[in-house]
């Protein structure tokens, strides 16, 4: 029987009025660093991002106007390998958020034990206000503005919120177009999450949701739960949320409620994950889905179920919403969905947690596979991708389980300890130049 340990407080849980997302990351980091007694010099290095790039660039709109856009690429750490992390198109994209997301990528690749570092980026934009042709020009001009900030052996973007395989294809094409012709065939791995025909990998689109479900399967096994008898609900029904739901369905688990940016819906008889996904693709959100009833945000959080999968944005499980949750497990598909106060409440309520840097690592793991396939001019079939993903996810789960026992800490702290121990070892082996 799996027991998740209570949190060990090694620092004050003081919350400034407005805790920034990066402060949130740093509080999680400090808690683990204190507990494992991380070398103070390495702690200093990892507490800072390496490079922060902000670009402002003009784009011609469909009606001939010129609009200026602000975008970011923040590279947190590349001690383990090239910087790696998604690009997000959202109005909330700003330095603090991207910094936090970049740091989470460093911990995530370290927990998964793959040879990549951490970065994140995005454009401060509401993509729903722009046409497809405008999004294409914005993407291409952003890629051009980044120039050599990204590169196949240096920093490799991927999809995130409001970006997809099509956007990755435009990034690839723009990057290749700015290379000398002789170099182009060697640069397909400048971006991952591409369409299959443009060098993408089998299984990348579903990878994050697939990884979430692999770990839920394992957690259910460890806790003695039969997944076919479980219920769950999902926040966010984009790439991660809808794939997690569609992959839970074959287990016979019942999807009770879904919330996205258009509203929340519920059906106590169970929602058809694929049918809802088709509806969202057509309508842009879950609102108005006929085979469910509309519910409010609070009722959504109060859904009594076995599992909650947050797969939308950060800071959703907070002092306001965590007390409402009536579940056995929170499996974090999103990055940073739980803030520090939310974390504490989940622990006090005895709710198990599979933390983001472990739970949603499937995306970056299959991105790593895509990168490898491009470098070697190989093409792996879906069975091979899934088998390798499954193995890496479960190995990471086991490392976190062992660390939680060894250090007697909660799972978020344990996953940080696994990541920080790996980074600490590498820094100690290599030393600091000069």
The CA–CA distances, whole Å, from 327 to 113, 162, 311 equal 30, 29, 16
Contact call for residue 370 and ligand NAD (CB under 6 A): no
Interacting span for ligand NAD (CB under 6 A) from 23-31, 254-262, 381-389, 414-422: 254-262
Q: Which residues pair with 88 in a beta bridge?
A: 122
Number of residues that bind ligand NAD (CB under 6 A): 24
Nearer to ligand NAD by C-beta: 119 or 312? 312
Give the residue, chosen from 159, 199, 200, 355, that forms a contact with ligand NAD under the rule CB under 6 A.
Answer: 159
Contact call for residue 160 and ligand NAD (CB under 6 A): yes
Interacting span for ligand NAD (CB under 6 A) from 36-44, 173-181, 306-314, 419-427: 306-314
Distance of alpha carbon 325 from alpha carbon 319, whole angstroms:
11
Give the residue, chosen from 174, 201, 277, 335, that forms a contact with ligand NAD under the rule CB under 6 A.
Answer: 335
- Show the beta-strand stretches assigned E in 207-266: 231-235, 254-260, 263-266
Radius of gyration in angstroms for the set of CA atoms belonging to the chain, rounded to a whole number: 21
Interacting span for ligand NAD (CB under 6 A) from 17-25, 233-241, 341-349, 399-407: 233-241
Q: Which of 120, 194, 206, 254 is catalytic?
A: 120
Nearer to ligand NAD by C-beta: 230 or 360? 360
The answer to whether 344 and 318 have CB atoms below 8 angstroms apart is: no
Contact call for residue 202 and ligand NAD (CB under 6 A): no
Contact call for residue 211 and ligand NAD (CB under 6 A): no
Per CB under 6 A, which of residues 308..327 are in contact with ligand NAD?
A: 311-313
Give the residue, chosen from 134, 136, 259, 306, that forms a contact with ligand NAD under the rule CB under 6 A.
Answer: 259
- The three-point CA angle 409-25-329 to 5° equals 50
Distance of alpha carbon 8 from alpha carbon 48, whole angstroms:
25
Distance of alpha carbon 400 from alpha carbon 412, whole angstroms:
9
Distance of alpha carbon 219 from alpha carbon 226, whole angstroms:
10
Distance of alpha carbon 216 from alpha carbon 214, whole angstroms:
6
Sites of contact with ligand NAD (CB under 6 A): 159-162, 208, 235-241, 259-261, 285, 311-313, 333-335, 360, 363
């Amino acid at each position: 029987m799996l027991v998740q340990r209570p949190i060990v407080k090694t620092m004050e849980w003081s919350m400034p009025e407005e805790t920034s997302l990066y402060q949130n990351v740093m509080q999680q980091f400090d808690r683990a660093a204190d507990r494992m007694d991380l070398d103070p010099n390495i702690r200093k290095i990892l507490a800072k991002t390496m490079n922060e790039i902000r670009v402002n660039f003009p784009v011609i709109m469909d009606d001939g106007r010129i609009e200026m856009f602000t975008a970011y690429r923040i590279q947190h750490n590349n001690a383990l390998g090239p910087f790696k992390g998604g690009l997000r198109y959202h109005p909330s994209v700003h330095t603090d958020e991207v910094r936090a997301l970049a740091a989470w990528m460093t911990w995530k690749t370290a927990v998964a034990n793959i040879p990549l570092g951490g970065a994140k980026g995005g454009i401060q934009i509401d993509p729903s206000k722009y046409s497809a042709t405008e999004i294409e020009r914005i993407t291409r001009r952003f890629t051009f503005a980044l120039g050599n900030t990204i590169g196949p052996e240096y920093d490799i973007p991927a999809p995130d919120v409001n970006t997809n395989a099509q956007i990755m294809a435009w990034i690839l094409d723009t990057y290749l177009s700015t290379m000398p012709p002789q170099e182009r065939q060697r640069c397909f791995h400048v971006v991952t999450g591409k369409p299959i025909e443009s060098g993408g990998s089998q299984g990348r689109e579903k990878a994050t949701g697939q990884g979430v479900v692999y770990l839920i399967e394992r957690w259910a096994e460890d806790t003695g739960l039969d997944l076919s008898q479980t219920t769950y609900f999902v926040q966010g029904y984009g790439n991660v949320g809808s794939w997690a739901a569609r992959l839970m369905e074959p287990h016979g688990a019942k999807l009770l409620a879904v919330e996205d940016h258009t509203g929340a819906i519920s059906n106590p008889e169970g929602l058809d994950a694929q049918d809802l996904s088709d509806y969202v693709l057509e309508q842009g959100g879950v609102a108005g889905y006929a085979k469910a009833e509309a519910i409010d945000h609070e009722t959504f959080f109060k859904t009594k179920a076995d599992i909650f999968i947050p797969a939308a944005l950060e800071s959703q499980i907070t002092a306001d919403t965590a007390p409402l949750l009536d579940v056995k497990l929170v499996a974090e598909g999103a990055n940073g969905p739980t803030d520090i106060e939310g974390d504490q409440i989940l622990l006090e309520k005895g709710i198990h947690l599979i933390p983001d840097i472990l739970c949603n690592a499937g995306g970056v793991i299959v991105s790593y596979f895509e990168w490898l396939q491009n470098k070697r001019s190989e093409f792996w079939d879906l069975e091979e991708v899934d088998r390798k993903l499954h193995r890496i996810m479960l190995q990471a789960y086991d490392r976190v389980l062992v660390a939680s026992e060894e250090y007697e800490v909660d799972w978020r702290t344990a996953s940080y300890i696994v990541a920080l121990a790996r980074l600490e070892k590498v820094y100690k082996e290599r030393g600091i130049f000069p």
